Amino acid sequence: MKLVGVIGSGIMGSGIAEVIAKSGIDVVIRSRSQETADATKNAIENSLKKQVTKTKITQEQLEAAMAHVCVTSKLEDLANCDLIIESVAEDLATKKELFTALDKVVKPSCILSTNTSTLPVIEMAKVTNRPDKVCGIHFFNPAVLMPLVEVIRPITASDETIALANGFVKACAKDAVQVVDRAGFIVNALLFPYLNNAIAMFEAGTATMEDIDVAMKGGCNFPMGPFALLDLVGLDTSVAILNALHAEFKSANLEPRPMLKKLVSEGKLGRKTKQGFYSY
């Protein structure tokens, strides 16, 4: 991969672009406006500056990584990309519209991938004229630190596409696992029932949020408790993931808990809005 396009300038899009640039691959980030595109470039530079301050990387490595980053608000600027990673809102209609447009703009050999957490990749593949070149490439939050990437294979994807996706993940110094196109893939299908049950436990008055978090950190050696993790993932994203899991597997404990939905309706979406289960 010589040039990778990342679409979307949220936490995931920005983190994924940083990983790619640090791996020495050119990345063009497409955001809906030039302002948010420029802000994403600044966010990446600030993240790298923090790593310089902590002596994790050198100033030269920062400059080398930034030389690989460019931003745009125009989809046409992605025309020469070898791979696209879509990381926009978790809404199937939005993603399908984007894949339809991308298919017309990028070169025929370009692989189109989605960073969706749960949506069916096949639905995006079907709106293109290159369903064999569409797959999922799912990074975890925070992308810069999390070692895993899930490579999702819809039934239409060719062996070559999956091999190229795996090669790209390896070039980013991440560990790839391969999974079929089923809601939640591996990680979210196992993680979100646990997160939702933690909220149910708190709603039932079994323990405080703080004590549930302390318990799961100290009792299971998890790096963070379920409420801190929900706030990190984003409560709106968490509702979207649970809804998709519930739609596919129907189990009652996959229905987003009332407290989670209430926080989202109040605009308390977790760390990104500085208020979720906790205040930041």
Q: In the bound complex, what is the minimum distance in angstroms from residue 109's beta carbon to ligand 3HC?
A: 28
For the bound state, the minimum distance from the C-beta of residue 77 to ligand 3HC, rounded and expressed in Å, comes to: 27
Q: Where are the beta strands (DSSP E) in the chain?
A: 3-7, 26-30, 69-72, 83-86, 111-114, 134-139, 148-153, 175-180
| Residue number, 113 or 188, with CB nearest to ligand 3HC | 188
Catalytic option among 18, 86, 123, 150: 150
Q: Is 94 helix (H, G, I), strand (E, B) or coil?
A: helix
CB of 205 to ligand 3HC, least distance (A): 26
| 203 part of the active site | no
Of 144 and 171, nearer to ligand 3HC (C-beta) is: 144
- In three-state secondary structure terms, 55 is coil
Complex with ligand 3HC: residue 140 or 168, whichever CB lies closer: 140
Contact residues for 137 (Cβ-Cβ < 8 A; gap 6+): 85, 113, 114, 115, 149, 150, 151, 152, 165, 168, 169
Smallest distance, ligand 3HC to C-beta of residue 71, A = 19
Q: Where does this chain bind ligand 3HC (CB under 6 A)?
A: 54, 117, 140-142, 144-146, 188, 191, 223-224, 229, 233, 237
Query: Is 138 designated active site?
Result: yes
- Bridge partners of 86, per DSSP, are 7, 114
Q: Is the dihedral of CA 129, 187, 150, 113 positive or negative?
A: positive
- Of 87, 113, 138, 246, which is the active-site residue? 138
Residue (55 or 129) nearer to ligand 3HC, CB: 55
Say which amino acid occupies 192: F
Closest CA to 191 of 139, 247, 117, 257: 117
**Catalytic pick among 87, 113, 117, 238:** 117
Task: Find the shortest distance in angstroms from Cβ 106 to ligand 3HC.
Answer: 24
- Write down the catalytic residue from 23, 115, 188, 238: 188
Closer residue to ligand 3HC (CB): 3 or 137: 137
Beta strands 148-153; 83-86: pairing state: unpaired
Secondary structure string (H, E, C) spanning 246-273: HHHHCCHHHCCCHHHHHHHHCCCCEHHH
Cα–Cα distance for residue pair 124/122, rounded to 1 Å: 5
Given the complex with ligand 3HC, which of 161 and 237 has the nearer CB atom?
237
State the minimum distance, in angstroms, from the CB of residue 228 to ligand 3HC. 8
Catalytic residue ranges: 117, 138, 150, 188
